[in-house]
Structures are given as structure tokens and as C-alpha cells.
Structure 1
């Protein structure tokens, strides 16, 4: 989401954008002629709150709700929230004002924040400022719409830091191409692709990598990451769960969406247990009203956490494959220490390249 703040030394309203590449600050409006510094802060705070509620429609669409869309359900509530976006522009310019000591309050958070911001704009009474803020909010809405379509460039890159239960086919295709170039996960994959969509593609590459390791080691593909954990410490539970479900024939989109939905529900306080016994503990636990919820993923950042675990699983498959690979090792007696280190590095790169080529032959575009 976009955050807004006030630079009091310059009397400037600024926007703060957080992306994988870092944070940037840019000016929105100079409070020239608006002397009340308290209202400066109220404007920034309310704009941040409005941005947060708007981005909630991106991270929590109605289609990703755990229940149906019947009246008063979570899915129904999200649909109503989405409809409020169409009333934001009117609320900024024509907000509900107190009458006879009463104020009509809207039901949802989006329209509520927009009404509150509209009342502040009405209080200031500067048409140019109202125009500028209206344009800024409209740009935020269009940014979210671009993110939903899979375009995460420029301002929409904020979405890469968020977790969304549903994946974008456009972003999955981008992630698949990046994994084709580097199955272990490049910087571009982590910083330019929605992590939910990247996880869908990474799950398919993990399955292929596990099968390559299994064919050489004789260990079942679903157990590859657990075995690799004995070579080097890895996150085991999540990639093993994903492997088990993909081997059973589950759709990668469904597997990723369910894991992230459960983690997001846990973050919201719902008590939900995993579908099967985890490969290794611990999972993330949240106590809510005396009940314990379990999630394979960190509820604070489920999509990035899932992507990290799946990429770690691909690396684990390589570790196990390399453990059984019988490629000729450097002659330690014939080389000095520096030359031996170079030979081992060269051997590692060659073996990794062989593993990657074998994985590429198995993986299928999703």
C-alpha cells in the first residue's frame, strides 16, 4: 500500500512507496496557505488508511474467501467492499456532513475512509487541493487495477511485497520463464514477480527437480526435501506438502492458493488446521479464543515465505542429486590448495548445469 506523510520543514505532503528495490519518497502537495498543521497530519493519516483499505481488495478478493458468497459471509462482505471503490470519487467531493448533530456513516472501510478524507477536504475548502488529492486517489485505484491484471511495473511494484491468495496467469508465465533461465530463483524472480504467481511456477519446477533427484537416488520424490535436509538444513514442511499434493495430481494454482488462504485466515484469527499431518514441525501457530491454528506459512508474509520455501526445495533436490552423482572428483593429491578450490568450484558448476538440464527436460509449462 502507499503511505503518506508530512515533511513539516517543507510543509509538504509526500507519498512513500515500498517495493522490493527499497522505498521511495515523492511530493504530492505543498501546504501553501493551509496553516493548520494538525489537519496536514490528518490528511496524511486518512490517505494512508484509504490506501490500506483499497489494497485489501487486491490481497483479499471475494474469489479467495474460504466461504461462499451468501449474505453476511466473508465473500459477500468482500464483494460489497469492492463495490465501494466506485463511490470513492463522489465521496471525496461530496462527503456526508453532520446534520442536526448526526452523521451518516457508510458500512464499509473504503467508503468510510473516502468520506472522512472528503470531509477534511471540505473543511480546507481549496478546490485545487481537492483536485490534486482526487487525482492521487484515482491513480492509486488504477495502480491496483494494473496489479490485478498482472502488470507490476512502476507504482504497482508495491504488490510484490504483498500476499494474495489468487495467482495471475500473466505473472505465472513471467515467473516460469525466469525459472527456465535459473531454476534456483533469480533476483528478478524475487523482485519483479508477484510471489503467489511465482510460487505456482516454482511448484512445478520443484516437482521436476524432485523427480530428477529421485531417479538418481532411488528415494521417493515426495521425500526428496526431507532427505536433503540431512545434508543441509532446509525448510521441509511446506515443499514436502506441495510435492505430495502435486504428485497426487492437484493443480498447482489450487495448492498455492489454499496454503496462502489458510495462512491469511490464521492471520485474521480463524482457527484452521492443515489438511494432513506435516512432514516436520514446527508450523506457525496462532492462539485465538482458546483454539490453536496451524499454518505451513508465516501468516505475516505467506506468499513470500512460500516462494522462499519452494526455491529452497529446488536447491534441496539438487543437493540430494549431487550426493548421489558419481562425476569424477578433482585429484586432491595432484593440486595445491588454491588450484583444488578452483577445480571444486568448476566441478560444482558443471554438475549443477547437468542437473538443471535434466530438470528442464521434465518440467511442463503450467
Structure 2
């Protein structure tokens, strides 16, 4: 069956195709309410849908934004992507999602597609080379960075105070009396590692600090392997700070495999605050990031008409649960809350 076009709508409504166009685009000329109603009724009866590709070419916009993240299977990124998608749809935009991977966005086909004007803006994690920024700038595509290492650049950046988040997590563990704190770091230096290093420098001997800092991938396996190394040391740490929730999930499994009781034998805390963190056993104490606010900022920046902002840092929140000892284990089912 042939798809209805603007001529069909105009014929049924008894108007010109120009009037149909004015209704679709809310201008540039006004349309009388009764005429507008006839056009909309004809569209509905014919099942007419605007050709968005043609409209995008006419107005030099695609009404699609891009989100390049490190790993969609990581709960942090999948949760953020969901909220960005919801916000984009509210604003009338589609969302193209791609994985940057550990090697950076430059190697991905999705990134190359986005640079050829398939999107109106990109929120990106994983820029590894300076020339990438130049390429994006020349393309005219709006950009928001999710990379902490671009905080000092002129590229609009959104994030949290990673140093402050790690510091608050460590201070919470110290408040429990856990002075011997291990770190599951990421696979490259970041402010969370810097915070742990500075705070442990006055509490641990250099050799002890070296053995209590273990790098791992931001994955379940990465967290498991790093925690296994920490917990099988001759003197394992009394507490562990995981740089991300997904690493903490792996760490909880490693502790349980080794017969360690959480938090009696080892306390665990992380940074992210994904929904899944409330449903581990024990439930995970974590630094909660404001996913909704970050998602709204990303979409508003990429779709707005105002000049782009420079940087936006959002506040984090400590959420205390069972894994650090703040809340007793085995809560009743109706007491489990996100």
C-alpha cells in the first residue's frame, strides 16, 4: 500500500500543500484553527507521517543525538544511557548509543558515523587523542564530555567531584575504625586514586600502600580479581574502596568465595550508586551519583540553542547500607529501598 504524502493530505483537507507544510512546521505563516483541525484530521485518517529524513535535510538537523560510553554492560553506563534516552525522547530527539571501549572512541564506527552529521550533538566518554577534539569542533557538532581528564579543557564537561567522592567514602570507612583500607582502582590514574593515595599516605607504610592498591578493569571480573588479590594477602585489608559499583559487585563475590563475612571481616564501599547496588547481598554502601540531573544536563546542552556551557559538576550523596556495617544484615523484605 502506498504511503500517504502531503498532496494526499492537502487534497482530503481541501487546502494547498503549503498550508499542510505550515501546520507541520508551525509556520512560517499562521493557519486558522478550523483549517488546522481539518489538516490534522486528514493526517489522522490517512495515517500520514512526516518524512523526518527530508525535514532533517531541509533544516540541517537530524533530531538525533549521540551517546558514546565505555561499556553498555556496566550498570553505571547503562543506567545513565537509559535516563539520557528518556530525556531525549521527552525533547523530541532520538538517541544513537555506541561503546567507546577501553581503546577510546576513535576506533569505533559509531563515532565516525556521528561525525558525518548523523547526529546534532554527542556526549562522549573515551576521547584519547587531542586531534579528536579538533575533528569534532570542525564538524560543528555540539559536544559534552564525560571524561574526567578533560575537566581542564574548554570542552563542555559534566561530572562529579571524583576526588571529593572518594575522600568522603574513605572518611566514612575511617569513621567506622577501618584504618587499613584497600583500593580497587581503575585501569588508568584518576582523581579517585589520587584521593586514596593522599589519604593513605599518612596512615600506611609505603610498601603497605603499594600492596593495597590494585588496578582492575571496570567490570565484574575486574572487581573479582582485584578483591581476590587483596583478600589473599598475608594481612588482608579491613576495608575496600571500589572505584565503581560493578567492581564492588565482583569484590563481594570474591569475599564470599573466600569465606569472608561482610562487613565483619571486610567492609566494602563503592562509587556510582546504581540501582543494582541496593540489591546485592549484603546491600552495598555507595557514593550516589545524580544520574537524572546528569542526563538532563547532557540532553539540554546538546539540543539547546544557547551557547554551550563550560563545565557542570553535580553533588554526590553517601548512601549507607549493610556492606560497611551501618545497617544490620537481613532486613525484612519491605525494608529494602533504593
Normalised TM-score (structure 2)? 0.29
Greater fraction of residues in helix: 1
Greater fraction of residues in strand: 2
Normalised TM-score (structure 1)? 0.27
